[in-house]
Every structure is written in C-alpha cells, then in structure tokens.
Amino acid sequence: MLWFTRTDMEDTPMPLTAPEQTQTQPRTGFRTAMIIDDHPLFCDALSIVLRMVAGIGTVETAETLSGALDQLADGCVPDIILLDLNLPDVNGLDGLMRLRARLPRLPVVVVSSMSDNRMIAATLQAGASGFVPKHSQRAVFQQAFAAIGAGAIYTPDSYIAPDTRSRDHDDDAVLRLSSLTPQQARILRLICDGKLNKQIAYDLSIAETTVKAHVTAIMRKLGVQSRTQAVLIAQQAKYAHLLPEA
C-alpha cells in the first residue's frame, strides 16, 4: 500500500493501493481540473485521487490565488477548480468570491479542513458547487464529482442545512454581499474604511458620479437605505476583510 502523507498536515486524501491504480477510470464530464492549495504534497496526492475517481486527465496546480488568476488570465481555464480557503494571499471566502466573480459559470469545489456547518453554509451561499472536507476518503471525492457532474450541489453527509426560516444575520449578509460585482465590492471596502465618494473616486481613478451610482446599487443589493447600514451589513459577515482588492 502506498501512502501519501505529510508531516505538517493530517488531512491528506486516503491511501492509494496498486491494484486500484489500474482500475477503469470513471467518467464525470470533467477532463481538466485546477487545485489551488499551498501544500505541494497534498496537491500531488489529490491529483492522483482525481485521476482515479473522476477520470480527470490534466490537473494544474497553484499555490496562491493570484497565481491561479494569472493562469486563468493566460487561458488555462479548467473544467473545475478545487480551492482551499486558507492561502498565503487570501483567507476565508475571499478566494471563492473572487473566482466566482471572474468565472461565474465555472464550478468551484471548496476542499478545506474548516468543515463546520456554518462554514459549509457560507461557502454554498457564496457560490461554491460543493464542499469536501480535506480529511475525506476517495469515495467521498468520487461522490462529490458524480453529484457536481450531474448538476447538483455536493455537501458531506455530516452537513446539516440551516433552516432558512431561522438563518442568522451573518449567513444572510454573506448571501447578499456575494451578489456584489468586483467593483462594488472594492467600493464597499473603501466605505468600510470611512472614505467619502470623492476619496473613493480618487483611489479607483473613476468619476465621482460613477461612485455614486455604484453606492446606490450596493445599497439596493444589500437592502439598506444608508452607507452606515451597508457598513453594518459588512461587519455582520466580517466582510471588510474578505472584499476583493483587485
């Protein structure tokens, strides 16, 4: 039995056995994938798992979100992306939201060790096509790709979906904030920093009238009547630290 392990991390895909490597690869409709994770050994192990359980022939990797965005800009667009939430240049939902803003139709699966119900719910509300805990076995990845390939959203068996009638304000804030465009998100970040429209226009090199139009759109999407209320919504989701910077 060949084990793929790492000394600094426990959540590596399950071991691969020699007989299993010769089995017929299942087809999921995905031919290429990109793994965004800053741990090379985990990427190597997960690449092998994807080839085995999903029949993926080409797997690209990136250690940072900026590196992944550069690859995407160069035309290296995979059929599916697997994303870790904690990267050297982003943290939390930032990476997911920026990927969704760049390529809204591309499936993004979050693969993270932060697998509590609250985090899973937040990633799904932010547009993830599925969530797979990093410690998952091969069979779980196979189930995830089969579900996502069929157009479904995948969640682990342990996940308990929140009751929408009693969903708390933080989850609702994430849902509304995820609807902002990248430019609107940048402007909301600056509003959270206490900047006025004229200062925002200068920082972003746009007209002040354009800023005013964006602020109006932001308040409409967030369902608020003032800048102060918009900031409060952002603070509820701790979103000021997650807004795209570029």
- pLDDT bin (cut points 50, 70, 90) of residue 113 is confident
> Quick one: 145 and 34 in the same domain?
yes
Q: How do beta strands 80-83 and 130-133 pair?
A: unpaired
- pLDDT bin (cut points 50, 70, 90) of residue 170 is low
Range of the structural domain that residue 195 is part of: 168-241
The reported pLDDT for the residue numbered 118 is 78
Contacts of 166 (CB under 8 A, 6+ apart): none
For residue 74, what is the domain's CATH number? 3.40.50.2300
> Quick one: 172 and 143 in the same domain?
no
> Quick one: 105 and 196 in the same domain?
no
Query: Is residue 111 domain-resident?
Result: yes
Amino acid at 8: D
- Residue 242 to residues 89, 91, 97, 151, 233: CA-CA distances in angstroms? 11, 7, 9, 28, 13
> Quick one: 125 and 196 in the same domain?
no
- pLDDT bin (cut points 50, 70, 90) of residue 228 is confident
Distance (Å, whole) CA 236 – CA 80: 31
Work out the angle between the directed axes of helices 208-222 and 169-177 (0-180°, nearest 10). Answer: 140
Query: Is residue 13 domain-resident?
Result: no
Distance (Å, whole) CA 125 – CA 122: 5
Query: Is residue 50 domain-resident?
Result: yes
- pLDDT bin (cut points 50, 70, 90) of residue 114 is confident
Query: Is residue 220 domain-resident?
Result: yes
Q: Is residue 77 within 8 Å of 51, Cβ to Cβ?
A: no
Residues facing 6 on adjacent strands: 9
**How large is the average pLDDT for residues 198-210?**
94
> Quick one: 86 and 185 in the same domain?
no
- The count of structural domains within the chain is 2
